[in-house]
Chains A and B, each alone.
Chain A
Amino acid sequence: MTSVIHLRDVVALLGGFPALTGVDLDVSAGELVALVGANGAGKTTVLRLCAGLVPVASGTAQVLGEDLGRNARAVRSRVGLLGPSGGLYDELTASDNLRFFARASRVDLTDVERAAERFGITGRIGATPVGRLSTGQRRRVALASLVARRAELWLLDEPHAGLDAEGRDLLDSVVRSAVAAGATVVIASHDLDRTEGLGCRHVTLAGGSVTHGGDHAA
């Protein structure tokens, strides 16, 4: 199978301190992988590194065929990252946020409208500044933006956090649809029930490195 993520002995520094201390990880196209581990294990840093947002200090890091050490920017437009805060402007309405990031990412506005409808970002919610939305509603706006982006690689950081039961089920269905459509999904999560329910391959991190499940044979 085509390798989407190939990390070998990857070290990454945050503020001069090692956040990743020799990570080995392989993810193939169309796989669903969950990164698990305690807080501070390095899950978020692995996701941000794979998105081309954290520089590789040493080691080999290839994502979507691009060498992150040489050309991290080439990866960015091909991945979708859902961070804990969603990366939205509080002062703009939900609809304005969706339209801005769609135009900024060269996404068709009809795809955005479809995603907004799917996540219930219409009517009053769509016209409300994001800063006044609940955590779950913000999450839905961020997910709608992610879905519209049609990324090849989805990197989701605690995606179920803040969502109600209906929202969690909707998220799971969206993730399954994305994988069925050929996307690769990596989820950092503490919610093992959810990730097992999704059928994820589990990769365990501790102290900035992978301790279990980093390659397919594990």
Chain B
Amino acid sequence: MLRDAWLVAGKDLRMEVRTRVGLGQVVPFAVLVLVLFGFALDPDRGILEAATPGLFWVTVLFAAVLGVQRAYAVESAEGVRDALRLSSLSAPGVFLGKTLAIAVQLVAVEVALGVGVVILYGADPGGWVLLVGSALPATAGIAAAGSLYGVLAVGLRVRETLLPLLLLPVLAPVLLAATRAFEAALDGSPADGWPWAGLLALFAVVYVGCGIGLYGTVLEES
């Protein structure tokens, strides 16, 4: 399973390196959203600073939808899914590989957004241990849910519009917990944030577990 996961993740990341869709389009999109939020809320700097954690994670979710759509657009080319199903790859391995590749790209988006909120919103990253400790499980959860719902939508003609409708409600708990953890980190009270980070880890375990268990069935039925 892990061998298959590395193989699929390597393939997806190689495609990203060649096409640079993530770095060339998704990261600029995310930064642009951040800038637009800044324009909209700038007159009242207090609101902007208070809303920074939520704006950060909402933007990450938007970028995740784009990243997941991209990750599964390459699998929807005619004949590719047949080729994958005829291979000896295990479904959980494919799921983990897709999840890992999406997560790596999301981390790149989050780093760019992190720099953005420090520069544009004046956020203080003093509680960086909690920021990283909550961002990693949140990213894993988003990538795992995205990977599972991505394959569900891949066989549908309306996948571009359906995917956000399916994915965003499922990720609402991650948005809530990650926002609370970031609020605590940016407020300088990390002790309040670690329970949320723990909850994010639980979400990640649940989403990854569901993906490993269900991906094969969804792949066959989609």
Tell me the A residues contacting B by CB distance below 8 Å: 48, 51-53, 76-77, 79-81, 83-92, 96, 100-101, 103-106, 129
Contact = CB atoms under 8 A, between A and B. Distances in A.
A43 to B, nearest CB: 15
Given A81-B82, A101-B83, A104-B7, A91 B88 contact: no
B87 A53 contact: no
Given A53-B82, A83-B82, A86-B79, 10 more contacts: A76-B86, A81-B83, A84-B79, A89-B74, A92-B11, A96-B11, A100-B11, A104-B87, A105-B87, A129-B18
A48 B79 CA distance: 11
A96 B19 CA distance: 14
25 contacts: A53-B85, A53-B86, A76-B85, A77-B88, A83-B78, A83-B79, A83-B82, A84-B79, A86-B79, A87-B83, A88-B80, A89-B11, A89-B15, A89-B80, A92-B14, A96-B11, A100-B7, A101-B87, A103-B7, A104-B7, A104-B84, A104-B88, A105-B87, A105-B88, A106-B88
B74 A91 contact: yes
Interface string B69-104: 000001001111011111111000000000000000
Interface string B161-203: 0000000000000000000000000000000000000000000
B82 A48 contact: yes
Q: Secondary structure of the A side of the interface? A: loop
B15 A87 contact: no
Nearest to B8: A104
B15 A92 contact: yes
Nearest to A86: B79
Contacts, number: 68
B62 to A, nearest CB: 23
Give the contact-size bracket for chain B. Answer: 20 to 34
Contacts of A92: 11, 14-15, 18
Contacts of A83: 78-79, 82
Given A96-B14, A100-B7, A129-B18, A88 B86 contact: no
Nearest to B15: A91
A105 B7 CA distance: 11
Contacts of A48: 82
Nearest to A149: B86
Contacts of A103: 7
A92 B77 CA distance: 13
B77 A85 contact: yes
A101 B89 CA distance: 10
Nearest to A83: B79
Contact of A87 (B7, B79, B89): B79
Contacts of B79: 83-88
B73 to A, nearest CB: 10
Contacts of B74: 89-91
Interface string B14-29: 1100110000000000
Given A77-B88, A106-B88, A87 B11 contact: no
A92 B14 CA distance: 8
Contacts of B11: 89, 92, 96, 100
B88 A90 contact: no
B87 A84 contact: no
A91 B85 contact: no
Given A53-B82, A87-B83, A92-B15, A104 B89 contact: yes
Contacts of B18: 91-92, 129
A48 B16 CA distance: 31
